[in-house]
Structure 1
Amino acid sequence: MTEEPKAGSWDYDKLLISAISLVNPHLGRYALHLVDVDAGRGEQLPPAEELQLGRAVVELGVDIQRRAEQRGGELPGATAAGGQAVDEEA
C-alpha cells in the first residue's frame, strides 16, 4: 500500500497541478457555453454534466484548501466548523 503524498510536497503539488490542468479547460468551455445560452445561441447543459463539473471543482477546491492548511494557512477572519468563513457583520 502506498502512502498518499503530503499536501505541499512536490508529489502532492504535481497531482494538484495535473488536476487543475484537467478541470481548467472544462471550466472555460462551461463559461463560454453559459454566455452562448444567455445570448440565445445554445441550450442548457444536461444537469448531469453540470453536476459532474461541479463535483470536480469542489474536489479541486478541497485539495487546494488541504494544501494551504498543511502549510499553516487560515481563512481571513474567524472560521466556523467546516472551514467556512464567518461573516462578522451578521
Structure 2
Amino acid sequence: MTPEERMLWARVRSKQLGVSFRRQEPMGRYVVDFVCFEASLVIELDGSQHFNNPADKERDADMKANGFTTLRFWNNEIRDNLEGVLQRIQETLGR
C-alpha cells in the first residue's frame, strides 16, 4: 500500500465508518483500492499519473454498470484533508 492508502485504511477498517471495507480487492478485471460491498462503494486513491486517464474513466463506467459508485481522491487530498475525505465518504454512505 502507498502511504496514503495506509492513512485511509487506518480510518476505514474495522467498521469505523459503520460498514466493512476491503482493500486491494479483485473486481472483475480490476483490483480496486477499497470497496464496501454493503454500500456498493469503491474508493480509489490516485497520484498524478491518473490525471485525465481514459482507463480510469472506463474502469469507473464498468464499476457503475455493475452497480457500484466510485469515489476518487487525489493522494494530496488524503495527506492534506483526511477529515474532509472521510466526511465525503460518510455522506456517500448515507445516501
TM-score, length-normalised on structure 1? 0.25
Larger Rg: 1
Counting strand residues as a fraction of each chain, which structure ranks higher? 2
Higher relative CO (CA 8 A, sep ≥ 6), structure 1 or 2? Answer: 1
Counting helix residues as a fraction of each chain, which structure ranks higher? 1
TM-score, length-normalised on structure 2? 0.24
